[in-house]
């Protein structure tokens, strides 16, 4: 006799940029273009204690956002290990 537990798996189908609404295609769980994923859990000292905010930005929206910074983001060359 075999018994199976009913399990639901979440498969990422697509990502929608919160900034402009652009749809970013996903293949095998990987976005097909550059995307910034933000998952922020606000803690006690913030005015948003216990809240999690999340959003995704396409590369164009990321560039537009970071161009407004007084101090640009730090960048480092990353060697991909495959
Ligand atoms: Zn966008």
Does some domain include residue 45? Answer: yes
Give pTM, 2 decimals.
0.80
Q: How far is the CA of 79 from the centre of ligand 1 (A)?
A: 26
- On whether the CB atoms of residues 42 and 24 are closer than 8 A, the answer is no
**Domain around 25:** 14-67
For position 9, what pLDDT does the model report?
A: 86
Q: How far is the CA of 72 from the centre of ligand 1 (A)?
A: 19
**Token representation of residue 42:** 């606000």
> Using one digit for the tens of pLDDT, what is the confidence trace for 37-68?
999 999 999 999 999 999 999 999 999 999 99
Does some domain include residue 79? Answer: no
Q: How far is the CA of 61 from the centre of ligand 1 (A)?
A: 4
- On whether the CB atoms of residues 5 and 11 are closer than 8 A, the answer is no
**Token representation of residue 57:** 């930005």
Does some domain include residue 6? Answer: no
> Using one digit for the tens of pLDDT, what is the confidence trace for 69-79?
999 999 999 88
Does some domain include residue 2? Answer: no
For position 15, what pLDDT does the model report?
A: 96
């Amino acid at each position: 006799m075999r018994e199976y537990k009913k399990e639901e798996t979440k498969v990422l189908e697509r990502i929608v940029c919160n900034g402009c609404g652009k749809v970013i295609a996903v293949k095998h769980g990987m976005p097909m273009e550059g995307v910034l994923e933000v998952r922020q859990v606000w803690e006690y000292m913030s005015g948003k204690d216990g809240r999690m905010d999340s959003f995704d930005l396409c590369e164009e929206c990321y560039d537009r956002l970071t161009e407004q910074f007084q101090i640009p983001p730090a960048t480092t060359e990353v060697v991909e290990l495959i």
